[in-house]
Amino acid sequence: MTISVKGLHHVAWRCVDAEETRHFYEDILGLPLAHIISADIVPSTRECMPYVHIFFEFRDGSYIAFFDVNDGKGNTLHPDMPIWIPHFAMEVDSREELLVMRQRLEDQGVDVIGIVDHHFVHSIYFFDPNGVRLEFTIRSETPQYLDEARANARASLDEWTKIKRAGRSGVGQEATSKPD
């Protein structure tokens, strides 16, 4: 099967404060806060690390995304930054293509994590030879889900901000991973 990578889905970085980041990207740059994932467990590593993953949408449907991690460090360049935070996500067209890419990588001896179900995308994760974390993803959302996610994103971010600023450790949710 010939596979062509469709394009950028998102690029992700760490932020110091999710609300300040939201203000900059949404209120100043005009990119809408489109989705937020809140979890205590990192689905791709099973690491206990409360976080939110916030997505700001470009007109073409791709995103710039940020992790706000409640680890008390707060510095985006901290040497102990979890390896799963900075990554580059590329989109493919179908679950079949995602499975083919996973198999192709595994056949070449590349360790692959996933398929991970993030409720709006399904993803596999791996590292390139330079140690850059990469992701292949397919969109799994419905228009109704995206409308609901957009409508609830700000309230979810407000809840995370309260938890983080109060010094509590978790959000009580976990994204899911399927072995497929």
pLDDT, tens digit (0-9, with 9 covering 90-100), for 8-40? 888 888 888 899 889 878 988 778 999 998 888
3-state secondary structure of 111: coil
pLDDT digits (tens, 9 = 90+) for 117-162: 888 889 999 887 667 788 889 988 677 887 888 898 899 889 989 9
pTM: 0.56
For residues 65 and 82, what is the distance between their CA atoms, to the nearest angstrom?
16
The set of residues, in sequence order, having a beta carbon less than 8 Å from that of 17 and lying 6+ positions away, is 68, 74, 161
Q: Which helix (H) or strand (E) holds 163?
A: helix 143-165
pLDDT digits (tens, 9 = 90+) for 98-125: 999 899 889 989 999 999 988 888 999 9
Q: Place 177 in a pLDDT band, splitting at 50, 70 and 90.
A: very low
Q: Which of 22, 35, 71 is nearest to 152 (CA)?
A: 35
For residues 57 and 114, what is the distance between their CA atoms, to the nearest angstrom?
24
The identity of residue 108, as a single letter, is Q
pLDDT digits (tens, 9 = 90+) for 38-97: 888 888 888 888 899 999 998 889 998 988 887 776 655 556 666 667 788 888 889 999
Which pLDDT score is estimated for 169?
A: 59
Residue 22's φ and ψ, nearest 5 degrees, are -60, -45
Torsion sign, CA atoms 76, 78, 79, 81: negative
